[in-house]
Structure 1
Amino acid sequence: MSSKRIMDIEVLRAIAVLGVLFHHLQGSLFNDTVPLLEKIHGWAQPWWGVDLFFAISGFVIARSLIPALQGCETRLEYWHQTRNFWLRRAFRLLPSAWLWLALMLLACVFFNRSGAFGSLYANLQATLAGVLQYANFRFADSFFHYEYGSSFVYWSLSLEEQFYLLFPLLILLCRKHLVWALLALVAVQIFTLRTPLLMVVRTDALALGVLLAMWSARPGHQRWQPTFLRLPWAGSAVLVVVGLLMSFMATDRFTLTSYRIGSIALLSALLVWIASYNRDYLLPAGGLQRLMAWIGSRSYGIYLIHIPAYLLVRELIFRLQAAGLPSPAGHPMVTVIIALGLIVLLSELNYRLIEMPMRNRGADLVARLGASRAAVSSSGATSC
Structure 2
Amino acid sequence: MKTASARTGAPLTELGVRSGKFTRDALTDLQGSSRIPSIDGLRALAVLGVVAYHFQLPLLGGFLGVDLFFVISGFVITRLLVTQREKDLRPARLDFWYRRAKRLLPAMLLVVAAVQAWMLIQDPPGLRPTVNGQTLAALTYLSNWYAITAHIGYWSVGLDAAPLNHLWSLAVEEQFYLVWPLALAAALTFLPVRVSRRALAVAAVIGAGASYTLALHWYVPGAPERAYLGTDTRAGALLLGAVVALRPVRPPVFLTAALTAVSVAVLGVQWATADIDSADLYMWQLPVAGLAAAVVVNALAHTTPGALSRLLCAAPLQWVGLRSYAIYLWHWPVWIFLGIEFPELSHTARAATGFTAALALATLSYALVEQPIRARDLRPRVLLPVLAVCCALLAGATSLPVTAPMDAENGPVVTGPKAP
TM-score by length of 2: 0.69
Distance (Å, rounded) in 2 between the aligned partners of 1:266 and 1:278: 17
Partner of 2:36: 6
Partner of 2:171: 158
Partner Cα separation in structure 2 for residue 133 and residue 282 of structure 1: 38
Closer/same/farther in 2, CA of residues 256 and 11 from structure 1, 3 Å limit: closer
Q: Deviations over 1:251-301 (max 9, x none)?
A: 667746422322222122122122213644363547981101111110000
Q: After superposition, where does 1:291-310 map in structure 2 within 5 Å?
A: 291-310=316-335
The aligned counterpart of 1:260 is 285
CA-to-aligned-CA distance 1:99-151 (integer Å, 9 cap, x gap): 111111111221355x5xx6211111100000011111112223467988321
Answer yes or no: is 1:272 the counterpart of 2:297. Answer: yes
Match of 1:191 in 2: 213
One-letter code aligned to 1:132: T
- Residues matched between the structures, number: 327
Superposed CA deviations along residues 302-343 of structure 1, whole A, max 9, x for unmatched, are 00000121123224424xx5xxxxxxx23x323322211111
* Residue among 30, 46, 49 paired with 1:19: 49
Which residue identity does 1:13 align to in structure 2?
Answer: R
8 Å Cα contact 2:52/2:62 also seen in 1 = yes
List aligned pairs for 1:312-323, cutoff 5 A: 312-318=337-343
Residue 152 of structure 2 is aligned to residue 127 of structure 1: no
Is the counterpart of residue 95 in structure 1 residue 103 in structure 2?
no
| Code of the aligned partner of 1:213 | A
Partner of 1:86: 97
CA distance in 2, matches of 1:237, 1:101: 40
Matched, 1:347 2:377: no
- Which secondary structure state, in structure 2, belongs to the residue aligned with residue 149 of structure 1? coil
Q: Secondary structure at the match of 1:48?
A: helix
> Closer, same or farther in 2 for the Cα pair 1:144/1:92, shift >3 Å?
closer
What residue identity is the alignment partner of 1:133?
Y
CA distance in 2, matches of 1:251, 1:269: 21
Deviation at 1:348, TM superposition (A): 0.6
Determine if the alignment matches structure 1 residue 169 to structure 2 residue 182.
Answer: yes
Distance of aligned partners of 1:89 and 1:288 in 2 relative to their CA distance in 1, 3 Å threshold: closer
Preserved contact between residue 14 and residue 295 of structure 1 (Cα < 8 Å): yes
Q: Which of 58, 66, 71 pairs up with 1:50?
A: 66
Task: Indicate conservation of the 8 Å contact 1:7/1:278, yes or no.
Answer: no
2-structure distance, mates of 1:228, 1:178:
26
- Whether 1:365 aligns to 2:395 is no
C-alpha separation in 2, matches of 1:344 and 1:170:
37
After superposition, give the CA deviation of every residue in 1:340-368 in whole Å (9 maximum; x if it has no partner).
Answer: 1111111110100011011123x4538x9
Matches within 5 A, 1:49-68: 49-68=65-84
After superposition, the Cα gap between the structure-2 partners of 1:214 and 1:101, relative to the gap in structure 1 and judged at 3 Å, is same
- The letter of the residue matching 1:18 is L
- In structure 1, which of residues 129, 133, 136 is the aligned counterpart of residue 144 of structure 2? 136
CA contact (8 A) 1:236 1:281 kept: no
Distance 1:249 1:23 in 2: 11
| Pick aligned residue for 1:108 from 109, 115, 119 | 119
The offset of 1:194, in angstroms, is 4.6
Contact 1:229 1:281 (8 Å CA) reproduced: no
| Separation of aligned partners in 2, 1:256 and 1:292 | 28
1:69 aligns with 2:85: yes
Residues in 1 aligned to 2:127 and 2:275: alpha-carbon distance in whole angstroms: 30
SS at 2:302 equivalent: coil
For residues 6 and 259 of structure 1, the distance between their equivalents in structure 2, rounded to whole angstroms, comes to: 30
Alpha-carbon separation, structure 2, partners of 1:171 and 1:340: 39
State the shift of 1:238 in Å. 5.5
Say if 1:126 and 1:152, in contact at 8 Å, map to a contact too.
yes
Contact 2:330 2:361 in 1 (8 A): yes
The sequence identity of aligned pairs, in percent, is 28
Match of 1:375 in 2: none
- Indicate the larger mover: 161-170 or 203-212: 161-170
Give the gaps of 5 or more residues in structure 2.
3-30, 189-195, 219-224, 383-420
Distance 1:158 1:149 in 2: 16
Shift in CA distance, 310/280, structure 1 to aligned 2, threshold 3 Å: farther
Gaps of 5+ in 1: 27-36, 322-328, 369-384
CA distance in 1, matches of 2:329, 2:208: 28
Change (3 A) 1:284 1:9: closer
TM superposition shift of 1:169: 0.9
In 2, are the aligned partners of 1:47 and 1:250 still within 8 Å (CA)?
no
CA contact (8 A) 1:59 1:209 kept: yes
Change (3 A) 1:125 1:282: farther
- Distance (Å, rounded) in 2 between the aligned partners of 1:178 and 1:284: 28
Q: Measured at CA, do residues 225 and 151 of structure 1 come closer, stay the same or move farther in structure 2, by a change above 3 Å?
A: farther
**Would you say 1:333 and 2:362 are equivalent positions?**
no
Q: 1:227 to 1:364 in 2, by over 3 A?
A: farther
